Structure 1
Amino acid sequence: MFLKDFCNSVYILTFAKNYLLVRIVEQNDWVVFIITGCILLYVFMLLYLHRDSSVKVFLMQKFADSSNNFLSWVIVGLVFILLLAVVISQAVPIVPQKVRDIQLFGYELNKFGFTFLALLSFYGLKSLLSYLFYAGTGTLKSWSYFQFTASKFYFTVSLLLMLLCFYQYFYEFDVLKLFDFYFIGFIVLFLFKIMVYLLSPQHILPHQWYYKFLYICTLQIAPTIALWKLLFL
């Protein structure tokens, strides 16, 4: 009798563990699908928009030798937004009630959906305002240089985000320490991006320094603070 009960207990425990492992894999399948889709988008971009270029060739490419800069900028931006949403969505405290009340086909937005739409709206609006900034300052010819430089920067960051997605969702870690690392990494990347924009050989920002500070303050720092408050406060 004791042996039978023991065997039943082992069977139940084994079944529970297997069920738990299956559930964990199923819950993270969406991460694999998103990363795979992003990789396929990059493969399409490099093969068809950049004439069968490698990653190294794309990053080292000069503006005069580049092509399809606008489409590349859009694809890189979409991939970056998707991956960033995957990484930071788990740190979002709650989805606002007003957002949850908006349902599509009976489904409400989860943290990832809310984060993705917030980032998509944020970068879409910021891109529009950046275009108006270039048009208003009479430097619209630098807009193509801006797209070219931004594509390379966000392409590199998105490759890093792919690795972070795998680490965050498929390995055990201390959540608090990981997001502390993310915060520090974000500050470093943000400052590095500003330096890239300021020191770019294509001179993507207006030559006048007050226009440079205007761009950094109104189209980089202020929108980022607003996005931070929307997602995390």
Structure 2
Amino acid sequence: MTHDWTTTPRPRLACLDMAGTTVGDDGLVERAASAALAGQGLDPGTAGHAAALDVVRRTMGQSKITVFREIFDGREEAAVAANAAFESAFTEFVAVGEVTALPGTEQALAELREAGLAVVLTTGFARSTQDAILDALGWRDLIDLALVPGEALRGRPFPDLILHAALRLSIDDVRSIVVAGDSVNDIGSGVRAGAAVVAGVLGGAHDADALAAAGATHLIGSVAELPGLLRQE
């Protein structure tokens, strides 16, 4: 008997962004970026600093080293130094308790797993920063996997993080993947990965129009709404 490939399989994998989606941002990414830029001579109040922050806002969700390479236009030494300063600044925010879970996130993670989905957190941060966030929030037992760019994986908007998660967790159909994120790059990676549900989370990096234009299949007010959305679907 031939398999009916027109039937969408049940969701089995949820790939969720961190800053702005599951983890509160409150301007922390921009503050860390601002400090990193100042360290490379782009001081606050200058046109160069403002232009660089525009790039940071536009590229939210992307690997941070990729963002700094764009800002410094191929000056690898400056990009690497800025990236290191950014990660150091953000890790300090974590250490002093400025990074918190967004309301309803932990309940949502639990509900997704209770419904039979594996939960993966993805980010544009470095591994050390992601680890610091996970440890500070005590989320190790709430997720199945955490992935970052590098380690032979390209960051968003490429689909590598999502597809790697699917391979690691033995997901055999990309249509059973659910993606949620607050930036156009999160949405782009979900679309490129072939996920059946690519939910744009409002209130973060990019607005509803931008998320919809990037290909979001749904728009939700917060990641806390994701389990309910999947039950409706």
Q: Which has the larger radius of gyration?
A: 1
* TM bracket, shorter-chain basis: under 0.3
The TM-score, its normalising length taken from structure 2, stands at 0.23
The TM-score, its normalising length taken from structure 1, stands at 0.23
